[in-house]
Each structure stands twice: as structure tokens, then as C-alpha cells.
Amino acid sequence: MKKERTLVIIKPDGIQRSLIGEIVGRFERAGLKLVGLKMLVPSQEFIEKHYLVHPEWRRITGEKTIESYKKKGKKPPHEDPYKVTEIVLDNLKKYMSSGPVVVMVWQGIHAVGIIRKLIGSTEPMTSDVGTIRGDFTIDSYEISDLDGRAVRNLIHASGSLEEAEKEIALWFKSEELIKYRLVQEQILYDINLDGILE
Ligand code: CDP
Ligand code: MG
């Protein structure tokens, strides 16, 4: 658990908004360790593969979107979650391949859950204040659906450990992930704290 890994992508809007440093800084200051990093322009086919590594992604994302509309007392674009995600996936492919992205692997205690907490929920309009999606952008399901585009929320992070393992294997070769020690691990993980005093 101390070496849990998760995949993060700074999406094209995050790069265009000059938020690479801000985002990396938030994960660093939380105590997580960066073990893999690359910048590239992904193809649409690759983005489809990325989202569909999670076999239930179509259903879950569709249901989440419909629920969010209903919570606000609005009518969702479709009642069928699969119809919703058919459109979402198409929009996502265009969004994610529109420019460079930064792809990273972060490691540390509960890395998957900690990073999901730091990035905030999917829709920036309702993401908590203090999170990356809540602090640095302003999109909503309603406006993005009206415009016929993906929700621009700056960043992707794996939603579960299983998703993380599959996504990391998709984006990185094992030799691209670096095994190294960080000085701060002494205070984060040492059990007896007997290495501080001289
Ligand atoms: O990224 P996250 O895991 O929070 O959400 P998701 O449900 O896995 O959806 C993936 C991405 O699709 C989101 O981050 C949005 O960019 C996009 N999306 C969208 O454009 N419209 C929706 N109704 C739902 C998601
Ligand atoms: Mg997701």
C-alpha cells in the first residue's frame, strides 16, 4: 500500500492554462513521489483505449452524468447511460488529442485515493473548493453538452487501483518507471523515527 501507484494526465486545457507546475507542486507537497513522466499528443484511438480499459466506464460515467443533472433539477440529455457515454467518448477523443498532454505516474500511500481527493470531482462547477478542478476552472455538464464538447476539467486521474494498474501499463513501459529513494520518505514511512537525532 505504501507503494501504490496511480496515473495522472494533465489534459490539453491544463497545459494551455500553464498549470503544469501548479499541479505537479500540489502532488509533490502532499508527499507523493513522481516515478514516470512524459509529454505527447495522443491519438484519438489511444484515448478510446485509455477510457475503455475500465469495462464498466460507459455505464458508470453515464449514470454519474444523469444523476448530476437530476440533482440540479435538470433533464439529462438521455435516460440511457450508454447513450450519454457514446457522445461523451466521441467528445473526449477530440478534447484529449487536441494538443499536448503531460502523463505521469505518482507513487505513495493510498496514491489513487489521495490524488482523486486532490483533483476533485468530475464537474468543475460542483468540485470542492481547494481541489484542482474546483480551484482552476469553471466548466459544467450543462454548458459542455450545450456546446457539444467534453467537460474541460484540466486533469485525469485513475479512479481505482484496478484502473490505475491497467492505465499505467497502457501508457508506460516498465523500464520508463524509475525506482529511486526520496529523502522525505524517511519521515513519511519510517516506523520508529530513530534516524533524526544525532
Ligand atoms: O475524469 P473522471 O474520472 O472524474 O470522470 P469520468 O466519468 O471517468 O469521465 C471522463 C472524462 O469525460 C471527464 O473527466 C470529462 O472530461 C469527460 N466527461 C464529459 O465530457 N461529459 C460527461 N458527461 C462526463 C464526463
Ligand atoms: Mg474516470
Residue with cell 529511486: 180
pLDDT of 1 reads: 77
110: left (phi over 0), alpha (psi -120 to 50) or beta: left
3-state secondary structure of 14: helix
Give the pLDDT score at 2.
85
d(CA 79, CA 7): 31
Given this model, what pLDDT does residue 165 score? 98
Residue 39: phi and psi, rounded to 5, are: -125, 135
Is 156 one of the annotated active-site residues of the chain?
yes
Instruction: Indicate whether residue 91 lines ligand 1 (CB < 6 A).
Output: yes
Q: CA 107: distance to chain centroid?
A: 14
Per-residue pLDDT reduced to its tens digit, 3-49: 999 999 999 999 999 999 999 999 999 999 999 999 999 999 999 99
Contact present, 194 and 45 (Cβ < 8 Å): no
Q: What is the pLDDT of residues 46-57, one digit of tens each?
A: 999 999 999 999
Assess whether the C-beta atom of 137 lies below 6 angstroms from ligand 1: no
State the maximum Cα–Cα separation within the chain, in Å, rounded to a whole number.
Answer: 66
* C-alpha span between 63 and 68 (Å, rounded): 9
Q: 144 CB under 6 A from ligand 1?
A: yes
CATH topology of domain 5-51+87-173: Alpha-Beta Plaits (3.30.70)
What pLDDT score does 114 carry?
98
Exactly one of 54, 78, 110, 156 is catalytic; name it. Answer: 156
